[in-house]
Amino acid sequence: MLKANIAVLVSGGGTNLQALIDAQKNGIIKSGNISLVISNNSSAYALERAKNAGIDTAIVLKKELGSQEAFENKLIEILDNAKTDIIVLAGFMSILSADFTNHYKDRIINVHPSLIPSFCGKGFYGLKVHEAALAYGVKVSGATVHFVNEIPDGGKIIMQKAVEIMDGDTPEILQKRIMEEAEWKILPLSCEKVCSEIIKEK
């Protein structure tokens, strides 16, 4: 069967990448194949997860390339060479410019650890999102998967899942619950949804 070529961009631990790899193994992702993992951090554990699963990896460092433009051009070169159909941002901690997002219009998805439009946009990433949710005192948070455009966390929403906040939550505890109950579920499901739509057009 024809499959969409998936590239996953990562920066850190890669638990969302692992959820994608596991979903491909157990058939939740059936319309796509994860063929490449790119990291902007050479010590990201996500790279080990990719290697353990036999997936090609690449490291692209903005510091070495000197500018955002050169960084994005290198990413585009690698992604286009790999004939990428869909780019999944899975804990990728770098904001991409309009030049990049326009190049892959409706082909980039991202998982964000809150219910957008709360606690999102520039400066809201990783634990900072959960710190802000707890500081505000919301009783429900969650995760969102959305298309990526030039506005940070501003693209069309694909899926969301709510997660309850409990007494005594710390940012770390909340982060873990949102990953387990929401991110690791809706990211693979959203990825499959977009892949199945892409292969219909192929």
Closest distance to ligand GAR from the beta carbon of 126 (Å): 5
3-state SS, 155-187, equals CCEEEEEEEECCCCCCHHHHHHHHHHHHHHHHH
91 binds ligand GAR (CB under 6 A): yes
184 binds ligand GAR (CB under 6 A): no
Closest distance to ligand GAR from the beta carbon of 11 (Å): 7
**36 with 17: CB under 8 angstroms?**
no
How far is it, in rounded angstroms, from Cα 202 to Cα 200?
6
Which of 111, 22, 100, 34 is CA-nearest to residue 68? 100
125 binds ligand GAR (CB under 6 A): yes
Q: Which tokens hold the place of 119?
A: 């606690």
From the list 3, 5, 14, 104, which residue makes contact with ligand GAR (rule: CB under 6 A)? 14
| 130 catalytically annotated | no
| Closest to ligand GAR by CB, 12 or 155 | 12
| Binding region for ligand GAR (CB under 6 A) out of 70-78, 109-117, 163-171, 193-201 | 109-117
DSSP H helices in 10-108: 15-25, 46-52, 62-65, 68-81, 98-103
Choosing from 103, 112, 130, 146, the catalytic residue is: 112
**What Cα–Cα distance (Å) separates residue 16 from each residue in 26, 121, 173?**
15, 20, 17
8 binds ligand GAR (CB under 6 A): no
119 binds ligand GAR (CB under 6 A): no
**Which H or E run contains 38?**
strand 32-39
12 binds ligand GAR (CB under 6 A): yes
From the list 8, 24, 50, 183, which residue makes contact with ligand GAR (rule: CB under 6 A)? 183
From the list 29, 47, 55, 129, which residue makes contact with ligand GAR (rule: CB under 6 A)? 129
Binding site for ligand GAR (CB under 6 A): 12-16, 46, 90-91, 111-113, 125-126, 129, 179, 183
Instruction: Return the active site residues.
Output: 112
